Amino acid sequence: MNLYCITHKKIDYIEKLNLIPSGVGNYNYPDNYENEKKGENISEKNSSYGELTFHYWFWKNKIDKLKKNEWFGFCHYRRFFVKDNFSDLIQNSENRQGYINKKLNLSTLKEMLILEPKKDWESKDVILCKPIDLQKPKRMKILKHGFKSLIRNPLILFNKKKCTVKLQFEMSHGYENLKMAINLLPKNERIDFLDYINTKTSLSPNCMFMTKNTKLTKDFYESVFPWLQDCEKVFGLEKKNNYGTQRMYNFLFERYMPYWFEKYSKVSFSSWLYCDLTKE
């Protein structure tokens, strides 16, 4: 399985993990890196799109060169798919998503990684990150960051089913921003995606997935990237002071991706881990 590890800087340990180093942004990468600047690309949007500029490059330059029914996928230099037998060690509480209560080195991290497809994936089209539960936000966070949402619907303080993808997005990335973006989708997606964000109380995060279905992946890219381009007319590409709005396109992609794959394919989920060895 080819797993592309997306990074904005040169990191020596990526290859040692048996991952494919995949560079985005302005860094001058060595020849062993997949480099988004070689071929059709939107690298100039990286400060706003983040790792999505690599997905765009992969769509336009790489996906048609893959072998049929060969598994491939995407992770980040700080977030990885890991084997399920390590899942009990991983915390997914608020603000501690994907963390592990032990210090990891390169050897232990490599032992944990999924590097080959599992047998029970044969009947599945796509593997996403195991979802995080959105039903337990702290009341103080709702009061501080979700006040407009609270005024509209006070039940979110008392009914955990009201703690949806929509509420979580509004608290982190701006009130009404998700709704404005969804209004730019074609009608068939707009209606279903609105229902999804208003009822879904968990989220498969990180813009990461694994699959062997190139046609499905291309169909997804052909749906999401024109939408994000339309969203540029609303949110722009200029640098912003707030990370929650600077990377707006990442956060839109992160919500749309699980919705789209769950609608159009057979999905399973994998454990995942946050681990930043660059700080060691």
For residue range 78-93, what is the model confidence (pLDDT) as tens digits?
999 999 999 888 877 6
Find tokens 């499905």 and name the residue: 216
Predicted pLDDT at 18? 97
Mean predicted confidence (pLDDT) in 4-11:
96
Question: 232 exposed, middle or buried (CB, 10 Å; 0-12, 13-18, 19+)?
Answer: middle
Q: What is the dihedral of CA 224, 232, 147, 94, to 10 degrees?
A: 50
Distance CA 6, CA 79 (A): 10
CB half-sphere exposure, 186, CA atoms < 13 A: 7
Per DSSP, the residues of 134-172 read -S---HHHHHHH-HHHHHH-GGGGT-GGG--HHHHHHHH
Contact 167, 149 (CB under 8 A): yes
Confidence band (pLDDT; 50, 70, 90) for 73? Answer: very high
pLDDT higher than threshold 80 for residue 17 = yes
Distance CA 145, CA 175 (A): 9
Neighbours of 92 (CB within 10 A): 17
Mean predicted confidence (pLDDT) in 184-196:
96
Q: Which residues pair with 74 in a beta bridge?
A: 4
pLDDT higher than threshold 70 for residue 194 = yes
- The two three-digit tokens of residue 14, written as one number: 């990526």
Confidence band (pLDDT; 50, 70, 90) for 176? Answer: confident
For residue range 220-276, what is the model confidence (pLDDT) as tens digits?
999 999 999 999 999 998 877 665 578 899 999 999 999 999 999 999 999 999 999
For residue range 38-64, what is the model confidence (pLDDT) as tens digits?
999 999 999 999 999 999 999 999 999
**What are the boundaries of each domain within the chain?**
1-121+271-280, 132-203+214-264
pLDDT higher than threshold 70 for residue 198 = yes
With a pLDDT cut of 90, the percent of the chain lying above it is 71
User: DSSP character for 257?
Assistant: H
CA-based angle 22:57:218, to the nearest 5?
115
Predicted pLDDT at 147? 45
For residue range 154-174, what is the model confidence (pLDDT) as tens digits?
655 455 666 789 988 987 788
Region at 139 (left for phi over 0; alpha for psi -120 to 50; beta for the rest): alpha
Mean predicted confidence (pLDDT) in 98-102:
84
Q: What does the mean pLDDT of the chain come to?
A: 89
Predicted pLDDT at 102? 81
Q: What's this model's pTM, rounded to 2 decimal places? A: 0.91
Q: Which long-range contacts (CB under 8 A, 24 or more apart) does 57-65 make?
A: 58/4, 59/217, 59/218, 59/221, 59/225, 62/34, 63/214, 63/217, 63/218, 64/214
Distance CA 33, CA 88 (A): 33
For residue range 111-161, what is the model confidence (pLDDT) as tens digits?
999 999 999 999 999 999 999 987 765 555 555 555 455 556 665 545 566
Nearest to 74 by CA among 13, 2, 8, 12: 2
pLDDT higher than threshold 90 for residue 175 = no
